[in-house]
Amino acid sequence: MEINLKRIIGALALSLLAFAGPASASDRLQVVASFSILGDMVRQVTGDLADVATIVGPDADAHLYQPNTADAKAVAGADIVFVNGLGFETWSDALINNAGGDASVIVATGGVEPILVDGEIDPHAWNALTNGVIYVENIAAAMAAADAGNADAYKANAASYIAKLRALHAGAADRFGSLPEGGRTVVTAHDAFGYLADSYGLNFLAPVGIDTEAEPSASELAALIAHLKETGAGALFVENITSPALIEQISKETGLKIGGRLFSDALSERGGPATSYVAMFEHNLGAIMTALQDSGN
């Protein structure tokens, strides 16, 4: 008798849980992230407790993105839309306003100390791991507020993820700290690594500004090439989201070798070396370190 009663109570509790919790996929929180790097951070926090869609996918340029009807549909059906902010997604306000729906829009960079490049706010704040921690804290707070039943899980996921980011940052600070002062110059296609440069005392130069839309004038490019010839610095990199043509030209004219490819504004496609924010950082830091050591300046 007693066993049966326990069974009945157990079954009742289970059905109550099923009733209160997400009964089908459509009851799960619908979350949209504006670009691939942010999408990965959100997934690290949600695990499989929410459905996460990303607007600008791997290897794509979020500066120049043009939203389509599928993006509008995703935003219209979303509970939360995460954006980077700091002027990165020039298209996101129009997309969100035109899509309709009642999603909360969360700016992941809330609380980040922005840096300026030529007087403009640099939006690439994720390129400092210390800022990545702030993104994750903002994501976890927003998820916990929107889905209180899973708040503890989001917070636990965020805490272990943040521990990983902090460990990666501490290791990188150690390694870059050992580089000589004169051997810290890196050239990339567009100015996407100001926050990384500040994190580890590196010097990044780029023929294009913080926005991929701009093109360098012939005189700006000539000045950069002359500077590189004169100083004999450093490590040259192509990027996954921009054409390699400019960097190839600089390599040809300076004799500096291209040290590989950096992932600045987007993750790599599946099977690539940067399919997550952590993998992207490990790849970029490793490639920069190797190239700087090889350039021997």
Whole-number Å distance between alpha carbons of 35 and 58? 8
- Span interacting with Zn ion, options 8-16, 174-182, 187-195, 273-281, rule CB under 5 A: 187-195
Quote the CA–CA distance of 20 and 228 in Å, as a whole number: 63
71 contacts Zn ion (rule: CB under 5 A): no
Query: What track of x and - describes contact with Zn ion for positions 40 through 59 (by CB under 5 A)?
Result: --------------------
In whole angstroms, the minimum distance from the beta carbon of 207 to Zn ion comes to: 14
Alpha-carbon radius of gyration of the chain: 22
d(CA 135, CA 191): 21
Residues between 244 and 283 that touch Zn ion (CB under 5 A): 265
Kindly tell me which of 89 and 265 has the beta carbon lying closer to Zn ion: 265
Q: How far is the CB of 158 from Zn ion (least distance, A)?
A: 26
CA–CA gap between residue 87 and residue 227 (Å, rounded): 30
244 token code pair: 């390699």
Q: Which is nearer to Zn ion, 158 or 224 (CB)?
A: 224
Instruction: List C-alpha distances in Å: 242 to 3, 150, 153, 256.
Output: 67, 39, 38, 19
> In sequence order, what DSSP letters do the residues of 222-241 get, joined into one string?
HHHHHHHHHH---EEEEESS
> Which residue number, 192 or 196, has a Cβ lying nearer to Zn ion?
192
The stretch among 11-19, 72-80, 185-193, 286-294 that binds Zn ion (CB under 5 A) is 185-193
Contact between 227 and 198 under an 8 Å Cβ cutoff? The reply is: no
Using CB under 5 A as the binding rule, whether residue 192 contacts Zn ion is answered as yes
Contacts of 26 (CB under 8 A, 6+ apart): none
Residues 6+ apart with CB under 8 A from 163: none
Indicate the residue among 103 and 266 with the shorter CB distance to Zn ion: 266
**The one-letter amino acid at 235:** A
Q: Smallest gap, in angstroms, from Cβ of residue 245 to Zn ion?
A: 17
**Residue 87: CB minimum distance to Zn ion, A:** 11
Cβ 241 to Zn ion, closest distance in Å?
7
Q: Give the binding range for Zn ion (CB under 5 A) out of 2-10, 30-38, 43-51, 192-200.
A: 192-200
**Residue (90 or 276) nearer to Zn ion, CB:** 90
Provide the minimum distance between the beta carbon of 140 and Zn ion in the complex, in angstroms, as a whole number: 25
Site for Zn ion, rule CB under 5 A = 192, 265
